[in-house]
Amino acid sequence: MLQLASLPGGIAPFAHTEPENFADRPVAVAVNGLIRSFNPQAVKPASVLNGIDLVVRAGEFVALLGASGCGKTTLLRILAGLDAPNQGEVLVPQARTVVFQEPRLIQSKKVWRNVVIGLSGAAGSRARAIEALAEVGLDHRADAWPATLSGGEAQRAALARALVREPRLLLLDEPFAALDALTRLKMQHLIGELCQAHGPATLLVTHDVEEALLLADRVLVLREGQIAFDRRISLPQPRRASGQQFDALRSTLLAELGVHDVQ
C-alpha cells in the first residue's frame, strides 16, 4: 500500500534546551515500509530505500548520516513531496519546508521578496520578511540583490524563507556543505537556536558526525537501504565538540560509518 498524506494540522511547536523523552509528543512524521527503487521494471531494480520505518515527534531534531549514495537525500525528498516511494506509507505535516545545499534564491528579486515569495497577505508583507531576516541577522540586507550576498548570507536568507512559513517539519539537506569552516560553525549555532525557538520537527541530512552530535536529539545511520543505527543523544544543549561522552559517541558513529582507526 502506498500512501503519501498529511498528518492533522494544529500541532503546536515545541522548544527545548535539555534532553527529554519525546514519547509523549505528537507524531510529526510516520514512515512505514518505505521502498524506493529506480528502474523498478528491470530484472534487478536499483533499490535505494528498502523498507524504511521511521517516526519523528513534534519538536524533535533528527540527524541522518550515511555514506554517499545511501539514499539520505532520496528519503528527504520523499518527505518533502519532491519524490514518491514505490511502496509504503508516508505521513507528514502539510506545513513543511526544505533548505537545500544551495540557497536557490531568485536573482531578479530582492532578498526580502525572496523570503516571502509565494506568501500572500500579512504573511507575504515586507514587515514579515524583515522580521524573519532579523532572526537570522540579515535584516540589514533586506533590499540587497542575491548576487551581492556572501555564501553564508545567502544560506541565512534561505533559512529565513523556510522559517517564515512556520513549518511543522523542517528538512535540511546538507545546508552548510558549501560554506567555509568558520561560517559553517556560525550557521550550526544559528540553526540550533532557531529550531529551539520555532520548535519544528527537523530532519538534517549531513555527512558531518560532529555536526550531527552538536545539533540533534537523535542520530540515525542509513545503510544498505535501511536505518541501521538509531541513538538518542542525551547531552544537554548547548553542546561542545569535546568531553568524554561526546568523544565516545563520535567514535561510535564513525564506526557505524565504517571508520574505525580514529586517533
Q: Read out DSSP for 126-138?
A: HHHHHHHHHHTT-
Q: Which of 181, 190, 169, 172 is nearest to 55 (CA)?
A: 169
Position 88, amino acid: G
H helices, E strands: number in the chain:
7, 10
pLDDT of residue 10: 42
pLDDT of residue 42: 61
pLDDT category, 21, cuts 50, 70, 90? confident
Q: Among 20-24, 43-47, 173-177, 244-248, which stretch is predicted with the lowest mean pLDDT?
A: 43-47
Give CA–CA dist 251/86, Å, rounded: 35
Q: Is the pLDDT of residue 2 over 90?
A: no
> Residue 94: CA atoms inside 13 Å, Cβ hemisphere, count?
5
Q: Which of 225, 226, 199 is nearest to 217 (CA)?
A: 199
Q: Could you tell me whether strands 96-99 and 169-173 are parallel, antiparallel, or unpaired per DSSP bridges?
A: parallel
Report the percent of the chain where pLDDT is more than 90.
Answer: 78
pLDDT of residue 199: 94
What are the pLDDT digits (tens) for 158-178? 999 999 999 999 999 999 988
How far is residue 4 CA from its own chain's centroid? 19
Instruction: Output phi, psi for 204, to 5 deg.
Output: -105, 120
CATH topology of domain 2-97+171-256: Rossmann fold (3.40.50)
What are 207's three cell numbers?
555527512
Say how many residues make up the chain.
263
Q: Among 4-8, 200-204, 230-234, which stretch is predicted with the lowest mean pLDDT?
A: 4-8
Give CA–CA dist 55/234, Å, rounded: 18
Mean pLDDT along residues 69-97: 95
Task: Give all strands of the β-sheet with 218-223 in edge-to-edge order.
Answer: 96-99, 169-173, 201-205, 61-65, 218-223, 226-232
Q: What is the largest CA-CA distance in the chain?
A: 57
pLDDT of residue 39: 75
What are the pLDDT digits (tens) for 203-256? 999 999 999 999 999 999 999 999 999 999 989 888 888 999 999 999 999 999
Whole-number mean pLDDT of the chain? 89
Task: Return the bridge partners of 119, or none.
Answer: none
Region at 166 (left for phi over 0; alpha for psi -120 to 50; beta for the rest): left
DSSP state of 56: E
Q: Is the pLDDT of residue 26 over 70?
A: yes
pLDDT category, 6, cuts 50, 70, 90? low
pLDDT of residue 11: 41
Mean pLDDT along residues 11-29: 67
Q: Is the pLDDT of residue 99 over 60?
A: yes
Report the percent of the chain where pLDDT is more than 70.
Answer: 89
Q: Provide the residue ranges of all domains of the chain, joining segments of one domain with +.
A: 2-97+171-256
pLDDT category, 127, cuts 50, 70, 90? very high
pLDDT of residue 3: 44
pLDDT of residue 50: 93
Beta strand residue intervals within 149-193, DSSP E: 169-173
Mean pLDDT along residues 50-73: 95
Give CA–CA dist 179/164, Å, rounded: 23
Mean pLDDT along residues 122-131: 94
